[in-house]
């Protein structure tokens, strides 16, 4: 009997077993445990490759039916990608930082990867159910096309060699200590150059911050650049350590290597992946950047700016903006339900959806900065430069403040249209926090279309991710 497309994909995923790090920890040394951690991440990435193909199959089916891709799939893809990054970074902190490899760390790693694997399995099951339900009704040509996608071999994660970030391991056996240190220094210089290029593009992209054209993507790239700055700082610290390590006097004919073969391999793995991430970011940021402004050309290199006030005010204003956002939706729904003819007039010339999008995305930068200072002593911020981060923060905060003023005026205008006094309107449409406002909105839209509800749910996932990032940050102390 011929297997169906979802069965082929599901069998590929089920054949990939993620090993337990705790089992390895009890019988092996530090190097073997960390090697096994990378093996587990590689298996997780291979399962993710199967998941991505399942998503592409579903997207193709929906496109054939005249339907757009599911909004929640993008959220799931992003979530699994970030899980892989967290796992990689947890291992790098043990390799290149001062994090010990102990039972707590090992168990936290297992918890993170097994939890991510379980979530991915649930997502795969949802996709499998949908694909199986429509497969038989598809034209033969489309089924053959999708079967070819399903039967593709599983992608094996490979590190890319970047000319500007030379590897150490390839020349390890024929290079002396001085040359090894020099190559490590060149690799870090290559990463720093990529980071500076990305920073320059961010500054040139700020005029587009908050615009309708993929503004949220720009915010996401700025958010991720902070993490990548922290990654560069970690590797820079490791290289500085080996550059300044005093020579060890040994009786052997052969000098002790400045970098072991194990560390050279892992250094190459980390620098390759980081270079790939930075180059991908640069490619995306180039789509946003406007022509260079000489006034910004040297911005962001210094560390003199105090970010505390701007960060705290940005986060406080985020809550104000979200509260006004949900209150305005409540009043607007009330006016529409009563068929008030003035509703369209009050919204004329106002991009309400864009204001909503700002509430979902812009404050994430301030939240990320606060988390970095609270949990990591500002390593990510300092790697990029406080002046640079302050410039970006201020640009985002200025937009939020303008949105607050706009929504306050909108609420005031709509209150008058209800015929209620300010006191009565305050009782009828109370101020709500983000979660309460979201639940209130969903209670009024129980009969909304699947697309509308999915979009609102997807948006709320973004908001809750921002609000719970501090909690996730605390787990980073252990993984």
The string of pLDDT tens digits covering residues 360-390 is 788 888 889 999 999 889 999 999 999 999 9
Helix 352-361 and helix 308-337: axis angle, to 10°? 140
159 domain-assigned: no
Query: Are residue 184 and residue 230 in the same domain, yes or no?
Result: yes
The residue among 11 and 37 whose pLDDT is bigger is 37
Choose one of 294, 319, 351: the last residue of a domain. Answer: 294
Residue predicted with more confidence, 463 or 201: 201
Q: What pLDDT is attached to residue 233?
A: 96
- What's the confidence (pLDDT) of residue 17? 84
Residue 163 lies in a domain: no
| Domain C-terminal end among 294, 329, 361 | 294
* Contact (CB, 8 A) for 254 and 76: no
pLDDT for residue 388: 95
**Cα angle value 224/228/170 (rounded, 5°):** 140
**Residue 162, strand partner residues:** 165
Alpha carbons 433 and 356: distance in angstroms, whole number: 15
The dihedral region occupied by 101, where left means phi > 0, alpha psi between -120 and 50, and beta the remainder, is beta
Same domain (yes/no): 275, 315? no
**Could you tell me if residue 169 is left (phi over 0), alpha (psi between -120 and 50 degrees) or otherwise beta?**
alpha
Please give the angle made by the CA atoms of 80, 12 and 146, to the nearest 5 degrees: 90
Asked whether residue 254 carries a pLDDT value surpassing 50, the answer given is: no
In a shared domain, residues 337 and 467:
yes
Read off the pLDDT band of 319 (50, 70, 90).
confident
In terms of Cβ atoms closer than 10 Å to its own Cβ (0-12, 13-18, 19+), residue 300 is buried
Structural domain contains residue 302: no
Same domain, 327 and 178: no
Q: Are residues 315 and 460 in the same domain?
A: yes
Whole-prediction pTM = 0.84
Segment 450-476 mean pLDDT: 43
Lowest mean pLDDT among 140-149, 292-301, 469-478: 469-478
- Residue span of the structural domain in which 337 resides: 308-475
Mean pLDDT of the 49-73 span? 92
Q: Between these two residues, 462 and 411, which has the higher pLDDT value?
A: 411
User: 387 and 239 share a domain?
Assistant: no
Q: 165 has which bridge partners?
A: 162
- Residue 155 inside a domain? The answer is no
Q: Is the pLDDT of residue 42 over 80?
A: yes
Q: Using an 8 Å Cβ cutoff, are 310 and 394 in contact?
A: yes
Neighbours of 337 (CB within 10 A): 9
Q: For residues 186 and 95, state if they share a domain.
A: no
203 or 161, which is more confident: 203
201 and 96 part of one domain: no
Instruction: Pick the more confident residue, 214 or 398.
Output: 398
Specify whether 19 is located in the same domain as 88.
Answer: yes
Contact 74, 52 (CB under 8 A): no
Looking at the chain, the whole-number percentage of residues with pLDDT higher than 90 is 42
300 within a domain of the structure (yes/no): no
Output the pLDDT for position 463.
41
pLDDT for position 81: 94
- Out of 80-94, 169-183, 227-241, pick the least confident: 169-183
Q: What is the mean pLDDT of residues 107-132?
A: 93
> Average per-residue pLDDT in the chain?
83
Nearest to 300 by CA among 408, 224, 393: 393
Domain's final residue, options 122, 150, 178: 150
Domain count, the chain: 3
Q: According to the model, what pLDDT value does residue 318 have?
A: 84
């Amino acid at each position: 009997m011929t297997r169906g497309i979802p069965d082929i994909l599901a069998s590929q995923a089920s054949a990939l077993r993620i090993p337990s790090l705790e089992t390895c920890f009890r019988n092996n040394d530090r190097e073997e445990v960390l090697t096994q951690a990378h093996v587990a991440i590689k298996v997780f990435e291979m399962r993710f490759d199967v998941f991505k193909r399942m998503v592409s199959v579903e997207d193709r089916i929906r496109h054939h039916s005249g339907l757009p891709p599911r909004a929640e799939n993008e959220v799931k893809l992003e979530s699994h990608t970030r899980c892989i990054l967290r796992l990689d970074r947890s291992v790098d902190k043990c390799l290149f930082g001062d994090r010990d490899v102990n039972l707590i760390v090992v168990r936290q790693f297992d918890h993170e990867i097994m939890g991510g694997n379980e979530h991915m399995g649930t997502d795969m099951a949802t996709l499998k159910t949908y694909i199986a339900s429509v497969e038989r009704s598809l034209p033969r040509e489309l089924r053959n096309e999708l079967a070819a996608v399903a039967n593709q071999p599983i992608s094996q994660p490979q590190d890319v060699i970047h000319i500007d970030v030379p590897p150490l391991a390839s020349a390890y056996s024929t290079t002396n200590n001085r040359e090894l240190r020099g190559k490590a220094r060149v690799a870090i210089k290559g990463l720093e150059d990529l980071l500076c290029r990305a920073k320059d593009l961010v500054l040139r992209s700020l005029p587009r911050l908050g615009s309708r054209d993929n503004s949220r993507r720009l915010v996401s790239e700025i958010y991720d650049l902070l993490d990548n700055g922290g990654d560069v700082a970690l590797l820079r610290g490791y290289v500085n350590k080996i550059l300044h390590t005093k020579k060890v006097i040994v009786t052997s004919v052969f000098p002790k290597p400045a970098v072991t073969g194990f560390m050279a391999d892992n250094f190459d793995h980390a620098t390759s992946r980081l270079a790939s991430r930075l180059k991908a970011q640069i490619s995306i940021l180039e789509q946003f950047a406007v022509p260079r402004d000489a006034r910004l050309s040297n911005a962001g290199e210094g560390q003199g700016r105090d970010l505390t006030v701007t960060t705290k005010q940005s986060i406080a204003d985020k809550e104000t903006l979200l509260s006004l956002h949900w209150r305005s939706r409540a009043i607007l729904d009330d006016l529409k339900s009563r068929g008030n003819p003035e509703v369209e007039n009050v919204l004329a010339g106002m991009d309400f959806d864009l204001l909503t999008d700002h509430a979902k995305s812009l404050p994430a930068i301030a939240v990320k900065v606060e988390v970095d200072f609270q949990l990591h002593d500002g390593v990510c911020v300092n790697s990029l430069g406080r002046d640079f981060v302050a410039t970006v923060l201020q640009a985002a905060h200025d937009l939020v403040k303008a949105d607050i003023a706009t929504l306050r005026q909108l609420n005031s205008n709509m209150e008058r249209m209800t015929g209620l006094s300010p006191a009565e309107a305050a009782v009828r449409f109370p101020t709500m926090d983000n979660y309460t406002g979201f639940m209130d909105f969903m209670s009024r839209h129980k009969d909304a279309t699947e697309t509308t509800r999915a979009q609102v749910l997807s948006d709320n996932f973004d908001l809750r991710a921002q609000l719970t990032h501090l909690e996730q940050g605390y787990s980073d102390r252990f993984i």
